[in-house]
Structure 1
């Protein structure tokens, strides 16, 4: 019971960090274009993240059972502790340096590495891991493509309007799009902490199914909302200004794209990275406006971080598990 309580606390810390780490992406465009004042944007996103987190559970079941079967792993509680320590450490490191890394990649990489260290190759459900990895890889590609198309359509619609009028209307539309994106983020990302808690509950023998208890939903939603209210200004600066020169029409297109892709993944019960989706949508809309307008050097550093997150977190979680195993 003591270890389960420790896991719940660590999972909520992860969700809190996820709130100010990943939700920064959800409001970066609207803050950068001055569609919303920073404090209002943070509160707005926090409320909608909380609401979104209460609506869905499919992704939580995927996290809780697709990578490994918690009912068949004897040391599942220790594996979850190692997973959360590694994921939290990586999130804090990337947040400190203002790198829009993925909390989803960090958690999935950490869980896989901890299961490998604690249960061996046969402990990992490679089919389930492969389906999750495919969603994580394909979602940013899809976001880039959808963002490119939406931006081109918007260019045709507004080509005869004055820049002042375009900016005025799209700042208003951005408020709604940012709200959709925050709701989508809560519906997908908060479920990852729910899923890891359920994994621990099943592994510890406290429940036999992957259903998410109401108290887990409420705690995860609160942690996500509180984390969002703290804000992640370092990442807002990177996503909102360092990839492209953001204008309201770009911001609206990127937010609309992100919410469509994330909601689609949630409906399919697949965890995706809000960070990857938002950053790719920003790149896609920027490329549609003017290919040279995208700061590809910055984009390249972001993509490199995406690629190294899963293997680094897997190794880090494996080391954490071995240390925990020694002490316990």
Structure 2
């Protein structure tokens, strides 16, 4: 077995670990608000998110992914392909270890930023500071502030609107019947545009803007009709109270959480399989290409790892995001999902690298602040922010240590 084959096998194991951690940490955020608001149980969340993430990763995930994650380094600046081989493995392992540590302590971190930091670390050692795409790194740093702040603002506004239009109305249930389906239709607009413009399937469809608009509006109309019927049926069986409103929004929140889980599987699986794809190309071609064909079995490996991560460790991060930052009800949870999904979609269209983790935590905080500062546990929030700030430097340092040890051993 030569060096390439050895590190390809090792990278499969490290990639599976990264996918496992992705499910346990990043993807757990998609169900955190639904669990915290008691719309579904942890077991139901694990089952739903596990299936939807696997489907999203395998059937909607990119079959052509950049071999150097996020373009954080320029591989042309590293002449020896064996250095890239060992470096990509080091980055994958370093990122996986950091996300695993964060998951075991129940704190949400970004796997995207972990990979970026790890690749940055080995890139500086292997090729010097000149190989780093510093503008890309600047965008990552900028997203630390933009995505949670934007999600917090949207979450604050959405929940304030629900509270004003529904909870301050003379007739709670009637207002919920009217506004609930409207929010669901608006959510479908968001879901539709997200899948048309943020997934490989949508990109392959290549619809013109007016075709996309007609399709999304038609789907939104169908969702509005179905939601209106569901809300009417629920309204007939609940009391005229705040609890009755929450019962109507409970079903709606499950829909928004399912959307986040499916889209995360489709978009985030590249964090686990991107570096493996780089190694895969090096093994097959002997050189690193700008793009790499990702075989279906590799996407399946990533999808399986994500699903198992949710099953075994997902409850830890779900508890932190869904319960410890602020108390969530179904209306608040709906606002959280809507804000997080909106943030990720808008940022993606603007070309900003954002983390769903950061958006989810920001949205939870914004919804909590809509009820006053006392509604937010700033101690928990502070620990989360510290972990966010440590992600890139710790992943980079760990990657450097692993890379140097492997280079001295094998080269």
TM-score, structure 1 as length reference:
0.91
Which of these residues, 278, 291, 297, is aligned with residue 210 of structure 1? 291
Q: Is the CA contact (8 Å cut-off) linking 1:70 and 1:203 kept in structure 2?
A: no
Q: Distance in 2 between matches of 1:59 and 1:250?
A: 37
What's the CA shift for 1:189?
1.8
Q: 1:129 to 1:30 in 2, by over 3 A?
A: same
Count matched residues. 328
Q: 3-state SS of the aligned residue for 1:289?
A: coil
Aligned: 1:122 with 2:130:
yes
Q: Is the CA contact (8 Å cut-off) linking 1:42 and 1:231 kept in structure 2?
A: no
TM-score, structure 2 as length reference:
0.74
Aligned: 1:87 with 2:116:
no
Residue in structure 1 matched with residue 260 of structure 2 by the alignment: 181
Residue in structure 2 matched with residue 29 of structure 1 by the alignment: 33
Aligned: 1:170 with 2:249:
yes
Q: 3-state SS of the aligned residue for 2:108?
A: coil
What's the CA shift for 1:134?
3.0
What's the CA shift for 1:182?
0.7
Which of these residues, 5, 8, 31, is aligned with residue 12 of structure 2? 8
The answer for unaligned runs of 5 or more in structure 1 is none
Q: Distance in 1 between matches of 2:288 and 2:64?
A: 18
Q: 1:94 to 1:111 in 2, by over 3 A?
A: same
Residue in structure 1 matched with residue 208 of structure 2 by the alignment: none
Q: Distance in 2 between matches of 1:5 and 1:62?
A: 17
What's the CA shift for 1:107?
1.5
Q: Is the CA contact (8 Å cut-off) linking 2:152 and 2:364 kept in structure 1?
A: yes
Residue in structure 1 matched with residue 60 of structure 2 by the alignment: 55
| Farther-moved stretch of structure 1 (204-213 vs 35-44) | 204-213
Aligned: 1:102 with 2:110:
yes
| Farther-moved stretch of structure 1 (59-68 vs 257-266) | 59-68
Q: Which protein is bigger by CA-based radius of gyration?
A: 2
Residue in structure 2 matched with residue 66 of structure 1 by the alignment: 71
Aligned pairs (5 A) from 1:285-296: 285-296=367-378
Residue in structure 2 matched with residue 42 of structure 1 by the alignment: 46
Q: 1:64 to 1:200 in 2, by over 3 A?
A: farther
Q: Is the CA contact (8 Å cut-off) linking 1:67 and 1:126 kept in structure 2?
A: yes
What's the CA shift for 1:51?
2.5
Deviations, residues 95-129 of structure 1 (Å, cap 9, x unaligned): 22112222222221111111112221122122233
What's the CA shift for 1:218?
2.9
Q: Distance in 2 between matches of 1:70 and 1:201?
A: 15
> Cα RMSD (Å) of the superposition?
2.3
Which of these residues, 255, 260, 278, is aligned with residue 199 of structure 1? 278
Aligned pairs (5 A) from 1:137-286: 137-159=145-167, 160=169, 161=172, 162-204=241-283, 205=286, 208-215=289-296, 216-266=298-348, 271-286=353-368
What's the CA shift for 1:72?
4.5
The answer for unaligned runs of 5 or more in structure 2 is 173-240
Q: Distance in 2 between matches of 1:267 and 1:96?
A: 33
Q: Distance in 2 between matches of 1:170 and 1:202?
A: 48
| Farther-moved stretch of structure 1 (138-147 vs 269-278) | 269-278
Q: Is the CA contact (8 Å cut-off) linking 1:58 and 1:269 kept in structure 2?
A: no
Q: Distance in 2 between matches of 1:130 and 1:228?
A: 31
